Amino acid sequence: MKRRVVIVAVGLTLVAGACGEPADGAGSATVSTTSTSPVAAPTSSVATTTSLVDATLSSVATTLPAVATTVVIGGSDFVVIPNESGGVPPDLEVGCPGGPTFPVSALSSIEPLVGSGREPIEAAIAGFLGSEEGAAWPQADEWQVLYETGEEVILVFIDPSHQTIGFQTVALIDGEWRLSGAQFGGACPLEGRLPAGLNRVTWRVDPEFELDPASTTIHLLAMELECASGQAMGDRLRSPQVVITTDEARITLAADPPPGDIQECPSNPEQSVVIELGMPLGDREIVDGLVVLGDLADFIG
């Protein structure tokens, strides 16, 4: 299988945080890529992610590693940058892969459905739970309210012993609360959401290229998650966004959708991406830049 290669060459400028110092003689950050998408140089957009998680989310704020030094390459439109306290903005939209989304602030107010005074929501799910299919699902007293607006309520069920999670979404339709969706699956690693109009791209480190602390190049194999009729991403793959912190190299990839309104869903091909750091990797962990906060189960009693 042919792999199209996107190469990102990076000259790094260290931006010191509370615990870091600028690197001597570092030049301005630059990015070059075979993608046709323009790449923004690091700007003050770094500061947009410095909102502290409030006191009710102190447990969330300590989940991510503290950031002493941050380097942003290729902009920060769709990469999550932890602040110096390791926290993320409470209004950041997160969710499970393929699941509903909700703001980080919702994690501080999860409560049982039954006994919460939400009888119309209980009534909305009663029909499904009482059906032949729903009888095998957790019943009403096992669901919790994860997030609600004036028009939608997201319910969640977690069974940590079996690493299973379920969602039910209830929507206000024509003045009546009705079940609008239900899904069940495995664990739920929380991740930030891409801007509308972009496809999620997962990646793995190419096993053909070993990494060590002296490595200045990272080779990835990237794959588009959304249906694309098996088409290679090619130039639809946006320029990678990379954040280097004291402890991590956070890498996020995204792609423009393929043309056409209807796409089939065979497996998509992998595409090679080569990132030239311009500095040793050191002992930093390489992580997906959208993944944050751990698993949803960690926040549900």
- Written as six digits, the tokens of 150 are 């004036």
Last residue of a domain, one of 187, 203, 220: 187
At 33 the pLDDT is 34
Residue 49's pLDDT is 29
β-sheet bridge partners, residue 9: 32, 276
Q: Do 27 and 85 reside in the same domain of the chain?
A: yes
| Amino acid 10: pLDDT | 40
Query: Residues 185-195, buried b or exposed e (16+ Cβ, 10 A)?
Result: eeebbbbbbbe
d(CA 189, CA 77): 21
Tokens encoding 122: 């209980």
Same domain, 27 and 161: no
User: Rg of the chain's alpha carbons, rounded to an integer?
Assistant: 21
Determine which helix (DSSP H) or strand (DSSP E) holds 58, and give its type and residue range.
Answer: helix 58-61
Q: Domain for residue 301, yes or no?
A: no
CA dist., res. 182 & res. 203, Å (int): 28
d(CA 40, CA 28): 13
H/E stretch holding 126: helix 119-129
pLDDT for residue 19: 33
Tokens at 198, concatenated: 């972009």
Domain boundary among 131, 164, 187: 187
pLDDT digits (tens, 9 = 90+) for 32-61: 333 323 223 333 233 222 232 333 344 444
Are residues 90 and 198 both part of a single domain?
Answer: yes
Global pTM exceeds 0.85: no
Per-residue confidence (pLDDT) for residue 152, from 0 to 100: 96
Query: Is there a single domain that holds both residue 233 and residue 284?
Result: yes
Q: What digits encode the pLDDT tens for the residues 153-171?
A: 999 998 877 778 899 999 9
Q: Do 63 and 25 share a structural domain? A: yes
Sign of the four-CA dihedral 104, 109, 112, 117 = negative
Distance CA 86, CA 111 (A): 26
Looking at the structure, do residues 105 and 242 belong to the same domain, yes or no? no
- Listed residues 156, 187, 218: the one ending a domain: 187
**Cβ–Cβ under 8 Å, residues 146 and 290:** no
The bridge status of strand 30-32 relative to strand 93-95 is unpaired
* Per-residue confidence (pLDDT) for residue 76, from 0 to 100: 67
Quick one: pLDDT at residue 194? 85
Residues 6+ apart with CB under 8 A from 264: 227, 229, 230
Same domain, 76 and 131: no
**pLDDT of res. 75:** 66
* Same domain assignment for residues 201 and 181: no
Q: How many domains does the chain have?
A: 2
For residue 180, what are the domain limits?
A: 101-187
300 belongs to a structural domain: no
Q: Is residue 176 part of a domain?
A: yes
Taking 3-state DSSP, the helix, strand and coil percentages for the chain, each rounded to the nearest 5, stand at 15, 35, 50
| 168: Cβ contacts below 8 Å, ≥ 6 apart | 125, 128, 143, 154, 155, 179, 181, 182
Same domain, 107 and 175: yes
Tens place of pLDDT per residue across the chain (301 aa): 444 444 444 433 222 233 333 333 333 333 333 332 322 333 323 322 223 233 334 444 434 444 445 677 776 677 777 666 667 788 888 888 778 889 999 998 899 999 999 999 999 999 999 999 888 899 999 999 999 999 999 999 988 777 788 999 999 999 999 999 998 888 888 888 888 889 889 999 999 999 999 999 999 999 998 898 888 999 999 989 888 888 889 999 999 998 888 888 888 899 999 998 878 999 999 999 888 888 888 888 6
Q: Is residue 225 part of a domain?
A: yes
| Gap between the Cα atoms of 117 and 178, Å rounded | 17
